[in-house]
Structure 1
Amino acid sequence: MAELFRRTGPLIAWMALLTTLLWVAFMIVLPQVMMVDFSFRPSLPPSKIGGPEDVYTLKNYATLWANTIHRGIFFKTIWSSMLVTVLALAVCYPIAYHLAQVARGQAAALLIVALIVPFWVNEILRTFAWFLILSRNGIFNSALVGLGLIDRPIQFIDGNIGVMIGMVYAYILFMVFPLYNAMESLDRHQIEAARDLGASTWRIHWRVVIPHAKPGIAVGCIMTFMLSAGTIAVPRLLGGPRSRWFTEVIYSWFFDGGDWNQGAAYAFALLILCIVFILVMMRLFRVSLQDIAK
């Protein structure tokens, strides 16, 4: 904070600080407070709001627990989001390491551009492109059938496979760049010293690279998990009834059923689980908020 005032002067610094506080208050804190309030109130017609029936209750949360279908979708969404996070980490770790420690000059620049340029396209269009690739008569199935690897097309859409692929691709940058940012600051001499001492590649990564990149891994996992758990576009386009996401249930409560109180309870339950995941990741990687902020 002192550095901000020193660099920009008191007027600019106070304006920036006030703008940030207003944005956080009106765009984050206030909507969340309203959602919590809605979640503990019954769904009533406008004429009864504020009357004797308008009291705080746990009925909306009890509905989530009592509805076995919605409860199953809820836990499946959490588990699937964790799986997407693990898959994204497995795919992005070698890419980030290559960018930070191996690629040089133009090769590194071209790789970064290749990662960024596809994301200039809207997420809906990118997801629909995967729908065309993975559909029953899409490019991937046609190639597999043409090569004689399968007898008939595989149903990637209307299942979890297509959703997983689409999510890993959709949020790849949110995993790559935190990892890259952490690995870039690693002194290459440490890797060379470990290699000279006879350490294997696996041991170098386990004892040198991964401990140094823990904040980046934590940030990437948190961002990927949060985005995966809260997405609605990817499961709607690449999934089906068997791969329904909890956000689709929330959407139905708000806009199809018109029950904002029940939808708020479902949304707040998802938020609580996401916060628990963040705390677990910070505990697992032994990082603090200050480490993540770097």
Structure 2
Amino acid sequence: MFRQLSARFGGPLAVAILTLLGIWLIVMVTLPQLQMIDYSLRPNLLPAQVGGPEDRLTIANYATLFNNDIHRAIFFKTLWSSVLVTVLTLIVSYPLAWYLAKVATPRQAALCILLLIIPFWINEILRTYSWFIILAFRGPLNEVLLMLGLIDRPIRFLSGDAGVMVGMVYAYILFMVFPVYNAIESLDDNQVRAARDLGAGTVRTHRRIVIPHAKPGIATGCIMTFMLAAGSYAVPALLGSPGSRWFTQIIYNWFFEGGNWNQGAAYAFLLLVLCIGFMSLVMKIFKVGLGDIAK
């Protein structure tokens, strides 16, 4: 990395960039994570007890998750739901990325990208609340379905996980579309033409040519979408029902309602380990490395 930066910007500027990057990683990433781990390994004590005989390292905060059936169920439900959100987002994003990269004219692609980006100029909570209005029991979606005669009575879209899924796919679609779009755009059109000339259909062309070429972009999009979904708080809080709680809501409750930062830190670290494990799994499945994803 240093040689590449040095060749592009010169030695002194390359050193300055790497130094600032190192400081940022240490101050903003490494130290907070180490402090969180330290919090998670200590009991929740009164200020007067800190540093006393009861202030010792323990894994009791981690054991709480496995001893609490409700929290454990929510943890695994968050895992499965985040994977489902990732799959749904990929299903929606892949055709769109293909259209933008290989089908649309430059003018059409620019207009489509603009239409995708403009809603994200609005705060995420406002965008999520707009879906709350759309999916409400007497909201516009139910009114349209009733008017078209497709349903006999309003549907409670927000009574389960359906609203959360829709809101998350919408909230994180850009993080899937753009990596896949960038990967597909670099594909040589001659490879697609050759596959079609040899008799390959659309599905086979994508399966044998496009998807293998776009693996780094797909892996990047899946990793980013999963981590954002697993760590989301606003979407499940606004669009979820009491029976569709997210693990992040449990963490929030430990920190800000229960006042138990040690227990909250343990739960947050377990969520971090889950995200790292998913990232490693995706990289293994798609057979890509960090260098491929960084491209």
> Do they superpose with TM above 0.5?
yes
Q: Which residue of 2 aligns with 1:86?
A: 87
CA distance in structure 2 between the aligned counterparts of 1:105 and 1:79, rounded to whole angstroms? 38
| AA aligned opposite 1:88 | T
Correspondence 1:107 to 2:108? yes
1:189 is matched with which residue? 190
Aligned partner of 2:220 in structure 1 is: 219
Letter in 1 for 2:112: L
1:59 corresponds to 2:67: no
1:174-253 maps to which residues of 2 (within 5 A)?
174-253=175-254
SS of 1:243's partner is: coil
AA aligned opposite 1:246:
F
Paired residue type of 2:40: S
| Paired position in structure 2 for 1:35 | 36
Deviation digits for residues 28-49 of structure 1 (CA, Å, limit 9, x no counterpart): 1111001111111110101111
Q: Name the structure 1 match of 2:285.
A: 284
Matches of 2:275 and 2:154, distance apart in 1: 37
Residue 6 of structure 1: CA displacement? 2.8
Match of residue 127 from structure 2: 126
TM-score, length basis structure 1:
0.98
Q: Number of paired residues?
A: 294
Gaps of 5+ in 1: none
Counterpart code for 1:232:
Y
Rounded to whole Å, the distance in 2 between the matches of 1:271 and 1:215 is 22
Residue 98 of structure 1 corresponds to which residue in structure 2?
99
Structure 1 distance, partners of 2:106, 2:219, is: 28
Matches for 1:101-180 after TM superposition, within 5 Å: 101-180=102-181
1:32-69 alpha-carbon deviations (Å, 9 max, x no partner):
00111111111010111111111111111111101000
Deviation at 1:114, TM superposition (A): 1.0
- Who is 1:77 aligned against? 78
Q: Distance in 1 between matches of 2:230 and 2:202?
A: 34
Q: CA deviation at 1:152?
A: 1.2
Identity level (%):
62
Distance between the aligned counterparts of 1:244 and 1:136, measured in 2?
20
Residues 114-173 of structure 1: per-residue CA shift (max 9 Å, x gap): 111111111111101111110111110110111111111111113200000000000000
The residue identity in structure 2 corresponding to 1:145 is L
C-alpha displacement at 1:8, in angstroms? 2.2
**SS class of match (1:153):** coil
Question: What RMSD over aligned residues (CA atoms) do the two structures have, in Å?
Answer: 0.9
TM-score (norm 2): 0.98
- Structure 2, unaligned runs of 5 or more: none
SS in 1 for 2:159: coil
The residue aligned with 1:49 is 50
Map of 1:24 onto structure 2? 25
